Amino acid sequence: MNVLLIGSGGREHALAWKLAQSPRLGRLYCAPGNPGIEKHAFCIDLDVMNADSIIDFCRDRNVEFVVFGPEAPLVAGVGDRVRDAGLLVFGPSQAAARLEGSKGFTKDLCARYGIPTGAYRRFDNAVEAKAYVSAEGAPIVVKADGLAAGKGVTVAMTVAEAHAAIDDCFSGTFGAAGAEVVVEAYLDGEEASFFVLSDGTAALALTSAQDHKRVGDGDTGPNTGGMGAYSPAPVMTPDMVARTMSEIVEPTIRGMAEMGHPFSGVFFAGLMITARGPELIEYNVRFGDPECQVMMMRLKSDLLDLLLATARGELAGHVAEWTEAPALTVVMASKGYPGSYRRDTAIEALPEDGETLRIFHAGTAMKDDRLVATGGRVLNVTATGRTVSEARDRAYAAIGEVRWENGFFRSDIGWRAVSREQAD
Ligand code: AMP
Ligand code: GLY
């Protein structure tokens, strides 16, 4: 079977690498792809926000199955149009993608189906939002309702900070995404991401991972798309996984189906593990990036089989198998990220991939036969080990072999798991 993978990040490099291992795969195409993905797929320059260009390409090249990596084309309805054209699609419908596209939608779903999450209110004007914050007090969380590239959330430690965040949203900083604001209770605990495949009715629990969202060591500085991750997240004990499935995931799948837009694809719950148990912070309707990179290092099952069963509504009875051994990835980003950064800086040397080490490319390109960094997040140096500490040591040793002057990285990825291991 010929497959088209949509996307160009480290997540898609990891998916391409894993899809390429399937004996059922014919040709793998990727749009637009990157130089790392090129080792496993034919990269093609398609406008992935244009359904017609995807449909025409698939007809021309006999592609039957389209796998969407990022959420933007799904939220915009491109996936629906490709599905309506008769192609098999991995990724939710536009209506179901609202689980990520609208925080207000997800909060209302939680309220309706009794899913544990922070208490919240939705506002369309600053005056009422500020009055609510003043009445509730700090700490409190202010969120732009729509997609704001992970930057629309302020965890405010003071009322003044929350008021400023509300002004920011309504002044248009996040465009249309900030036309509505969600104000939410602050949840205290340890975060984890939990991934699930669903075909609309059946749910298949995948595994857990922990991201590092802040740009700086010690979880300081502004939020980013993610500076590193490891899998599994030790805080997700078998009991926590069972509770997450029964209290959060299963009511979500049931609720989405009842509301007339069943969810088909992968989603992950951003969880806060509080003293009361797992509570939902947010949903994303795709694999996480860089969480996907560590998950693919651990996946023993055939990825193409799993994605196809999801898209065909035949997920019941499938299992996903994972290595016990953890994986950890460190993101190397362009200096200045998540603010502005220089483009086209030379990457002069990379270590070799091996059994326990892989470099997944994100914002890279070939220019005049040289590998250059074109994006904010550029490389994912990913390793496995018997412990998180061993995986971390391997990843950082490999970073020592990367020659890229304009790159930087966090030096403490995995710190929570490593301190747990040291305490054992
Ligand atoms: P989000 O974009 O919703 O994932 O939020 C970004 C980050 O803000 C999360 O990963 C959390 O670290 C933090 N956050 C969001 N909502 C809350 C909350 N209710 N309580 C505490 N922290 C939160
Ligand atoms: N790393 C977080 C995300 O993909 O949303």
CA distance 31 to 197: 23
Please give the distance, rounded to the nearest whole angstrom, from the Cα atom of residue 281 to the centre of ligand 1: 6
Beta-bridged to residue 267, according to DSSP, are: 196
| Whole-number pLDDT of residue 330 | 98
Q: Which of 15, 20, 70 is nearest to 48 (CA)?
A: 70
Closest residue CA from atom 9 of ligand 1: 281
SS3 195: strand
Atom of ligand 2 lying closest to residue 289 CA: 4
Write a three-state SS string for 247-311. HHHHHHHHHHHHCCCCCEEEEEEEEEEECCEEEEEEEECCCCCCHHHHHHHHECCCHHHHHHHHH
Atom number in ligand 2 closest to CA 286: 4
Q: Which atom number of ligand 1 is nearest to the Cα of residue 118?
A: 19
Q: How far is CA 76 from CA 79, 147, 182, in A?
A: 8, 11, 22
CA distance 331 to 148: 21
SS (HEC) of 88-157: EEECCCCCCCHHHHCHHHHHHHHHHHCCCECCEEEECCHHHHHHHHHHHCCCEEEEECCCCCCCCEEEEC
Q: How far is the CA of 225 from the centre of ligand 2 (A)?
A: 6
Residue type, 198: S
SS3 219: coil
Contact predicate 359/382, CB 8 Å = yes
- CA-nearest residue for atom 2, ligand 2, is 288
Minimum-distance ligand to the CA of 362? 2
Walk along the chain (424 residues) and give the pLDDT tens digit of each residue: 999 999 999 999 999 999 999 999 999 999 999 999 999 999 999 999 999 999 999 999 999 999 999 999 999 999 999 999 999 999 999 999 999 888 788 988 999 999 999 998 989 999 999 999 999 999 999 988 765 555 678 999 999 999 999 998 888 776 665 578 989 999 999 999 999 999 999 999 999 999 999 999 999 998 899 999 999 999 999 999 999 999 999 999 999 999 999 999 999 999 999 999 999 999 999 999 999 999 999 999 999 999 999 999 999 999 999 999 999 999 999 999 999 999 999 999 999 999 999 999 999 999 999 999 999 999 999 999 999 999 999 999 999 999 999 999 999 999 999 998 998 8
What is the residue whose two structure tokens read 């220089």?
342
Separation of alpha carbons 26 and 406, rounded Å: 38
Q: Give φ, ψ of 151 to 5 degrees.
A: -110, 5
Provide the Cα torsion 139, 142, 147, 150; round to 10°. Answer: -30
Q: What is the pLDDT of residue 174?
A: 66
All domains of the chain in start order, with CATH: 3-91 (3.40.50.20), 125-179 (3.30.1490.20), 190-312 (3.30.470.20), 327-423 (3.90.600.10)
Residue 16, phi then psi, degrees to nearest 5? -65, -45
| Paired tokens of 120 | 């919240």
Q: How far, in Å, CA of 327 to CA of 390, rounded?
A: 9
Give the helix/strand (H/E) hosting 395.
helix 388-399
Distances, alpha carbon 123 to alpha carbons 45, 120, 150, 171, 303, in Å: 41, 10, 20, 14, 41
pLDDT attached to residue 424: 80
